[in-house]
Amino acid sequence: MSKSNNVYKDAYNRCLRLLDETRSLPSEPELGTLLGVSRTTVRSILARMEETGLIAWNKRAKTVLRDPRPDDFFPEEETDTLAEIIERSFMRRLLAGGAEAGMQINELELAREIGVGTTSVREFLIRFSRFGLIEKRRNSHWVLKGFTRAFALELTEIREMFELRSAAAFAALPQDSPVWADLDRLEDEHRLLAREIATRFNAFSELDERFHRLIHRASHNRFIVDFYDVIAMIFHYHYQWNKAQERERNEVAVGEHLAYIEALKSRDLGKVDAACRKHLKSARHTLLTSIPESRPLLKS
């Protein structure tokens, strides 16, 4: 599914919830600001609502005709939050652009590419900038700065502390928690990728991100979840610059994930701890070997 469809479906579901609170929707610019999406996306949302009899749309007037039903909503598994969509698109753009020190990032271009409002993109970049990896410049421009080997080492230490805690919290979740169904789906995706690793090994990065993000969310700690932004950027994107033995590395990592998933399902904290530590040790090695000893990966 394309990024624009994810943006549209997430915004559409959120707009449906507005119908419970009002009998007339605001103007297109106001809706765009409220939902954090472009006016093009707003118009697509309004057109679908008109087609399904939810609203009567006559130029500026958008009158609510009925309350939304459950079948009006897109399934949750087909949508990401707006923040997740922006973050994933930002990471992909860095990787596609080579992510070299001094790389320019333009708010307007990024917002247009994703199909969201510039305010939402700016808020993400401001939040991300506190890690010291990007810096604000004039005229809606940002510049990629970078990190050193010492920065990467500090990051791995914090990541390991956070994920060990999150993994233990995950294993303690009740059996009726929806995360177990999410874990089942991820396990199926891992097994499929393992069978097709020869031709799809480069699909591992995004799967890796979703797997670890699911684990971090189990912590129910906003700081741990928020910190995963910088983890995703460095671990799941930067180390891909080192293409040597990429298929072999990813094949090993898929196997470690499957062992990790098995440990989580066992609810045995000893097994969970061991599987988590083994995988994080491999991730640390992969990251550090991608950074030359003699110079930083990116210069600030």
Of all helices (H) and strands (E), which one includes residue 96?
helix 82-96
15 vs 286 pLDDT, higher one:
15
* Residue 240 pLDDT > 90: no
DSSP string of 143-212? EE----HHHHHHHHHHHHHHHHHHHHHHHTS-TT-THHHHHHHHHHHHHHHHHTHHHHGGGHHHHHHHHH
Q: Do domains 1-75 and 80-142 have the same CATH topology?
A: yes
Return mean pLDDT, the chain. Answer: 83
Lowest mean pLDDT among 37-51, 64-78, 100-114: 100-114
Region 252-278: mean pLDDT is 96
Q: Say if CB 127 and CB 181 are below 8 A apart.
A: no
How many other CB atoms sit within 10 Å of the CB of residue 115? 21
* Residue 239 pLDDT > 60: no
Q: Residue ranges of the domains in the chain?
A: 1-75, 80-142, 147-288
State pLDDT tens for residues 173-210: 999 999 999 999 999 999 999 999 999 888 888 888 88
Separate counts of helices (H) and strands (E) for the chain? 13, 5
- pLDDT given for residue 300 in this prediction: 39
When the candidates are 1.10.10.10, 3.30.70.1230, 1.10.287.3510, 3.40.50.300, the CATH number that belongs to 80-142 is 1.10.10.10
Region 216-244: mean pLDDT is 72
148 vs 30 pLDDT, higher one:
30
Tokens 């609502």 identify what position?
49
Which of 42-51, 214-223, 291-300 holds the top average pLDDT? 42-51
* Residue 153 pLDDT > 60: yes
- pLDDT given for residue 24 in this prediction: 87
Give the CATH class of 147-288: mainly alpha
- What is the C-alpha to C-alpha distance for residues 30 and 26, in angstroms, rounded to an integer? 6
| Nearest Cα to Cα of residue 182 among 208, 214, 220, 228 | 214
Tell me the pLDDT band of 82, cut-offs 50, 70 and 90.
confident
Q: Say if CB 145 and CB 100 are below 8 A apart.
A: no
Tell me the pLDDT band of 155, cut-offs 50, 70 and 90.
confident
Q: Say if CB 9 and CB 78 are below 8 A apart.
A: yes
254 vs 7 pLDDT, higher one:
254
- pLDDT given for residue 9 in this prediction: 87
Percent of the chain whose pLDDT exceeds 70: 84
Tell me the pLDDT band of 280, cut-offs 50, 70 and 90.
very high
Fold of the 1-75 domain: Arc Repressor Mutant, subunit A (1.10.10)
SS3 61: strand
- pLDDT given for residue 299 in this prediction: 44
The amino acid sitting at 76 is E
- What is the C-alpha to C-alpha distance for residues 298 and 300, in angstroms, rounded to an integer? 7
Is the pTM value of this prediction over 0.75?
A: no
